Structure 1
Amino acid sequence: MKPYNTDQSKKEEVREMFDNIAPKYDLLNHTLSMSIDRLWRRHVVKIVCRVKPRRILDVATGTGDLAIAMARRIREAHVLGVDLSERMLDVARRKVEARGLDGRIVLDHGDVEHLDVATASVDVATVAFGVRNFGDLDAGLRELARVLRPGGRVVILEFSRPSNPLFRTLYEFYTYRILPRIGGMVSHDRRAYEYLPASVGEFPRPAEFLRRLEAAGFHDCKARSQSCGIAQIYIGVR
């Protein structure tokens, strides 16, 4: 599915959508999730820390929250953050500079399907809430596998649908009824906040996504449920 359902490609529409909502993205992201997204990112950072990486690639870096968290925690690491949206990157650059991390975080406009990164040059590749927005999911996963060194890790944080029927009903009422109204009112782009939750429903279930990770070239793939299945952290080894 696409955010606006125009004649543009999904990739072009996703870029336009994030350009549109960039000024209010952080406010809405933390408010609408009641800041639980911060907890999930901390879990990702702990997983990444165990690898003791020197070079980290953060794809769909957005406004830089995960890149900043990793650079702060892993002081020997250098992080390359890549995103389609220049306006999201503008927000990220201001945050990185304000925290004095511009020496260890580089932010660049880029496309996950065609990364300007050398083969087998990265220790860890991360994606937080961006993999479901890939124009071509399988091509993006293969490109992540290409840039990782043998033994390197991919760590992906993404929303999913809770398995408990009652909890899923409550979650989907909030996600499909409440979130688009608030997000649309604040960002002035309701279509974006209708697309974002709807895209979760269309994203592969954890077991299927793990199979696609394996098909892209990863092994020892695992999914770790977060907050009763609202999100998953997927881990794979190159």
Structure 2
Amino acid sequence: PDARVTAIDASAAMLARARAKPWPEHVEFVHTPVEELAGVHGPFDAIFAAYLLRNLADPDAQLKTLHDLLRPGGRIAVHEYSVRDSRRARWVWNAVCGAIVIPAGRLATGDATLYRHLRRSVLAFDGVADLCARLTAAGFTDVRTGTMTGWQRGIVHTVLGTRA
């Protein structure tokens, strides 16, 4: 309950939605692109990055920056879509996007552009092996991965690493 939490996002709208919820006093919200990290000061015990790396121009440089924000022994958890290594995962991802995600997004917002981008960005992103290699190249040790259950099995992964 006394943990200091720093939540960052480049989207002011996402932060506003998060701030509207009840939080302990030790939670801070910072509006900044992860490439700049203005107002973000480590060292941190842990970093959780969800659906981030595939949207960055230089994910390797950003992983090194995140590595440097951790205290020695600190952990990173990268939660990301990754289907490149599995024909089954690509098939399921395409089927779910085509039948549910894109039509539902169009219905909810009137525009499916963002949801078509999501589909393409996931298909173009690293496989799990390459994602693990990125973390290792950034200096993380004890890199390992797990996947979600249900229909997301083999599609959504969490890759863990430690700063030595």
Shorter-chain TM range is 0.7 to 0.9
SS at structure 1 position matched to 2:20 = helix
Q: Tell me the CA shift for residue 165 of structure 1.
A: 4.1
Give the 3 Å change call, closer, same or farther, for CA 215–165 of structure 1 in structure 2: closer
Which runs of 5 or more residues in structure 2 are unaligned? none
**Identity of paired residues, percent?**
33
- The total of aligned residue pairs comes to 159
Runs of 4+ in structure 1 over 6 Å off: none
2:100 counterpart letter in structure 1: I
Write the mapping of 1:1-16 to structure 2, written as runs, cut at 5 A: none
TM-score, length basis structure 2: 0.87
CA contact (8 A) 2:90 2:123 kept: no
| 1:109 aligned residue | 31
CA distance in 1 between partners of 2:144 and 2:129 (Å): 9
Q: Tell me the CA shift for residue 168 of structure 1.
A: 4.2
CA contact (8 A) 1:159 1:230 kept: yes
CA distance in 1 between partners of 2:83 and 2:51 (Å): 14
| 1:118 aligned residue | 41
CA contact (8 A) 2:6 2:28 kept: yes
TM-score, length basis structure 1: 0.61
| 2:20 aligned residue | 94
| 2:158 aligned residue | 233
CA distance in 1 between partners of 2:60 and 2:109 (Å): 31
CA distance in 1 between partners of 2:40 and 2:8 (Å): 10
Give the 3 Å change call, closer, same or farther, for CA 220–105 of structure 1 in structure 2: same
RMSD: 1.9
Residue of 204, 212, 217 corresponding to 2:134: 212
SS at structure 2 position matched to 1:179 = helix
Residue 110 (structure 2) pairs with residue 193 (structure 1): no
Which runs of 5 or more residues in structure 1 are unaligned? 1-74
| 1:148 aligned residue | 70
CA distance in 1 between partners of 2:143 and 2:63 (Å): 13
Comparing both structures, which one devotes a greater share of its residues to strand? 2
* Greater RCO structure (CA 8 Å; 6+ sep): 2
